[in-house]
Chain A
Amino acid sequence: MSQFDAIVIGGGVNGLVAGTLLSRRGKNVCIIEKSSRFGGMASYSVDGGPTLAHSLYNLSPRVLSDIGIDPQHPVLSGKPVSTVSLSEDGRHIVFKNEGIFWSEGAKHPESDAWTDLTQQLITYGGLLRQLAEAPPPGGQKAILSRGGLNELLRLAKLGIGLKKLGKSEMRRFLQVILSNVHDIVIDDLPEGPVAGMLAADAIWGSATGPRSPGTVFNLIYRLGHGGNITQPAGGMSALTDLMVEAAQKAGCVLMPETEVSRIVLHDDTVSGVATNNGRTLTAPIVLSNLAPRPTSRMTGPSAFDIEAMRRVRIIRARGTAAKVNLRLKDDATLPGLPSELAHERLIYAPSVEYVEAAFNPVKYRQMSKAPVIEAFKRQTADGANWLSTIVQYAPSDIEGSWTETAKEQLAQITVETLSRALPGLGDQISGIQVITPDQIESATGAPGGHWHHAEMSLDQLLTLRPANGMARYSMGPKGLFQCGAATHPGGDVMGLAGRNAALAALEAQA
């Protein structure tokens, strides 16, 4: 008799979601986490500084209801923030739901064009969301089985949804979906900060530039839940705490500070896990929230076919986003920014060309000298003021490795870049934290520190995610499942990968 019905390795967002869902369906579940904190990348922070993730835009309401969290919970009641594109001349541009405005209040001339384009992409995102909320199509189910019919129905819905767009819209959808964001944006908007903002939103976290194919898909993906950006009340860790609470309420056994050393197999079937402290926990189902490669390391390559291991080791995951947290002096303000905009989402992406140029050095394992930046001003629990920034591009495999000098250079570049639009920012800073992709990898296990564990490119999506032959969350031995961001539909504090994996595990048992 096994101790548990299922064991989840890795207590990040997807692991918590998978475990909680299984628990709520009557399974006896244990979630094992290496560090002392649950929440993975979402809640990882250094010395009480801001967390890695600092906003929500893709959290799935379906996931919340599946794990018993009320979408109206106070933590989630933060109102959507606007995006502010910072400008060197002090005329910042504010992107709101109702259009674009200059920071002094007047309507921006490109407002209508931007709204039209964004709305169109949101419509497409809604269509694709049905694909995200289920395992990717093309399983081996008999078409007349219940699962097979459901799958057919889902695809039919997508088809009908496409049809409903009308002929010219449908044609446009099929035209843009595989395209690059540069071409699509420049068709409708003049080059400049408005176009630059869309280009930036298409490349966060990925090793692509606006001219890379598939970047329109990334932008649509980001807009999959309507495009609203919120911040949980109390920060990201409040959200992950809420998830931990949901897991406990559902009856999950949580094991922090426990590292799994091995997944135990018997006769091509999972029988449990062995931990570093010498314990063996038994269960017929193991869900790994790790990327495929570290997962296969825990079983040993013998458990998989040679072709499967080859696919696993060539999955591309090259993190390009660093986290730079600027500690602000008490009562500091952001110079050059009207105070009512201080708590919005700030980005520095003055044009599509700027974003593309920022991407170029990454190809040669260099950091951007003029990076694209997303920043939030926020207060941590201890009352300290921070400017929490994501700096793109800073590759995980930088030439010469991430030495202290390289980190200092990245910090300096970040401050200099922001100072162009916020002159005098440097004087407001009392300390800097630099968290590079390699550091994210060693802290969370995400390959290359990539926040999707595997690049979201067309060759690694849907039935090819994380790799051909592994798209249905199972992976070789019976009872072994993957539930992490490397699986369909990816990361982004969305939770759908974990949910889909848990449902796949339940289905396999039925």
Chain B
Amino acid sequence: MSIFTDPKLGLIPGPFHKRLEEQNRAQNWYDWAGYAAPGVLDSVEFEYFALRNQASLFDISPMHKYRLTGPDTTTMLNRLVTRDIRKIGVSRVGYAIWCDEEGMVIDDGTLFHLGDNDWRLCCQEQMLTWLLDAAWGFDVSVVDETHSIAGLSLQGPTSYAVLEAAGLDVSQLKPFDLAHVDHDLMISRTGFTGDLGYELWCDWDEAEALWDRIWTGGAHQGLRAIGYEALNLARIEAGFLTAGVDFQPVHATERLHRGQTPFELGLGRLVDFNKGHFNGRRELLSKRETPRSLLMRFDVEGFKPSEGSLIYNRRKKEVGHITSGIWSPTAKRNIALAHVRMPDAGRSSGLKAEIYTLQEGKWDTRMARLTPVTKAFFAPPRARATPPAHT
């Protein structure tokens, strides 16, 4: 489902645009769902290290947000997503994926349990028509809040201190908790960085006031506004997937068999076969044991980023490719997410990535050994401590 915006419109300013513009020395805007979003504001290095060592602010307003309410909402959502959302308590947030009838992943996202039969779904892809289809036959209302709710992601070890300095008490919030603080401001302890962090949600027209409040609070905590490139480094370190990069949202594919099952993406833990029927369940039951490929995490030999490289097995047969690959400044390792076809994904020894390098006008290739890793590349304990530390 590609997002079409009228080219005559150009990129649309989001709710924090004025504030981002003030910070934007790099003038590096990119198109995120039609909005002008910063790729880099200053320099990737500054922004990344602010995220990991101090605090960072990232505008997530272009995410698609849908509010689902009505007596059947929980039932309707439980038929939509693969996990059992009855286990997500009120004021909790859950990560979820949903599949088509073939069991192929349509998208992933976070479900905010705001109240009894009151949920917000937040995801990368446009999902309104699919949600309306999914809601047919249920007493559920679906409202697209994409353009009325602003979102701000505050991430990094001092993010708790920033909120405290801004007069917002979130000491009780455990990871994946959410709370309504002040009027019209919701804060959830969630994020896309694997670090301590919060996401702040408010009405579109209150966005600038919120930004200013946080910005003032962060004056002595090293707070810095960041763009997507820095965030992308952090999410790869955390092992998180990006739609369209690490998996292909099946509704956006045109070629056959480009979709992937949750099992192929290593998300089998999010599939609950015991909760009753959900979309794609019958197909997933039969596809559970027969993945065609696996999404894997690798330590890559050397230090050259491996993104886009093809992967070869011992017999020099091409068996996959790297979807995301970076030098991780914090883990001090060359890391990658990759798709590897079966059966080589099962054996996974003797795999090598063919990395292309360009050094001062000279192209070269090097074969880098790949070592499978099961855990996240970077998962600091501070991300889970409650109450969180100030630094």
Contact = CB atoms under 8 A, between A and B. Distances in A.
Interface in A286-318: 296-297, 300-310, 313
B160 to A, nearest CB: 40
B141 interface: no
A309 B133 contact: yes
Given A268-B281, A268-B282, A477-B277, A306 B75 contact: no
Interface string B212-244: 000000000000000000000000000000000
A303 B281 CA distance: 10
Interface residues of A, number: 19
Contact of A309 (B75, B100, B136, B280): B136
Contacts of B75: 302
A302 B277 contact: yes
Contacts of A296: 137
B137 A301 contact: yes
A68 to B, nearest CB: 36
Contact of A305 (B101, B136, B276): B101
Contacts of B136: 301, 309-310, 313
A221 to B, nearest CB: 30
Interface residues of B, number: 19
B130 interface: yes
Interface in A423-482: 469, 476-477
Interface in A381-431: none
A308 B79 contact: no
B103 to A, nearest CB: 10
Contacts of A307: 100-101, 133, 279
B101 A308 contact: yes
Interface in A152-176: none
B79 A301 contact: yes
Contacts of A477: 277
Among A267, A304, A305, the one with the most B-chain Cβ atoms within 10 Å of its Cβ is A305
Given A268-B277, A268-B282, A477-B277, A306 B138 contact: no
Contact of B277 (A303, A313, A469): A303
Contact of B79 (A267, A302, A310): A302
B133 A302 contact: no
Nearest to B75: A302
Nearest to A477: B277
B134 interface: yes
B277 A309 contact: no
A313 B137 CA distance: 10
A302 B130 contact: no
A295 to B, nearest CB: 12
B126 to A, nearest CB: 16
Interface in B118-139: 130, 133-134, 136-138
B210 interface: no
Contact of B130 (A267, A268, A306, A309): A306
A228 B133 CA distance: 45
A135 to B, nearest CB: 19
Interface of A: 267-268, 296-297, 300-310, 313, 469, 476-477
30 contacts: A267-B276, A268-B276, A268-B281, A268-B282, A296-B137, A297-B137, A301-B136, A301-B137, A302-B78, A302-B276, A302-B277, A303-B277, A305-B279, A305-B282, A306-B79, A306-B80, A306-B100, A306-B101, A306-B130, A306-B134, A306-B279, A307-B100, A307-B133, A307-B279, A308-B101, A309-B136, A310-B133, A310-B136, A469-B101, A476-B277
